[in-house]
């Protein structure tokens, strides 16, 4: 009995794998992975480190902006705390009034 082997399914599968491999090689990929690899120092061309003078000037301007923002946020936080205290007092007062009214109705 002669054994027949069919090469066409294997050849077809190999052709599909070969095409898939070519597609992967041609694919540009996700740019986020390039940024991540560059941050780890594994990128193809790491960006040159910023100079200390330029970094200091940028830091001072950024620091000033951040200080202004923090001051604004602290003011907003103080106002929110004041509102919360007023609301808590009003809630307690409302609870007392309701309790008094219910007590008067029961008597």
Q: What is the pLDDT along the chain (107 residues), one digit of tens a residue?
A: 555 555 555 677 777 777 877 777 777 777 787 777 778 877 666 556 666 666 677 788 899 999 999 999 999 999 999 999 999 999 999 999 999 999 988 76
Cα separation, 54 vs 65, whole angstroms = 17
E strand or H helix at 64, and its extent? helix 52-106
pLDDT of residue 86: 97
Write down the pLDDT at residue 47.
59
In angstroms, the Cα distances linking 102 to 45, 88, 91, 95, 99 are 76, 21, 16, 10, 5
pTM (two decimals)? 0.41
With CA atoms as reference, report the closest residue to 62 among 44, 50, 76. 50
Q: Residue 36 has what pLDDT? A: 78
What does the alpha-carbon distance between residue 14 and residue 25 come to, in Å, rounded to a whole number? Answer: 16
Cβ proximity of 34 and 43 under 8 Å = yes
């Amino acid at each position: 009995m002669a054994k027949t082997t069919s090469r066409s399914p294997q050849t077809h599968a190999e052709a599909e794998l070969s095409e898939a491999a070519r597609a992967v090689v041609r694919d540009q990929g996700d740019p986020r992975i390039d940024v991540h690899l560059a941050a780890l120092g594994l990128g193809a061309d790491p960006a040159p480190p910023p100079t200390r003078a330029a970094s200091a000037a940028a830091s001072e301007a950024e620091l000033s902006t951040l200080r202004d923002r923090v001051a604004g946020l602290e003011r907003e936080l103080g106002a929110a705390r004041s509102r919360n205290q007023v609301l808590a007092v009003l809630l307690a007062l409302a609870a007392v009034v309701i309790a008094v009214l219910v007590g008067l109705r029961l008597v």
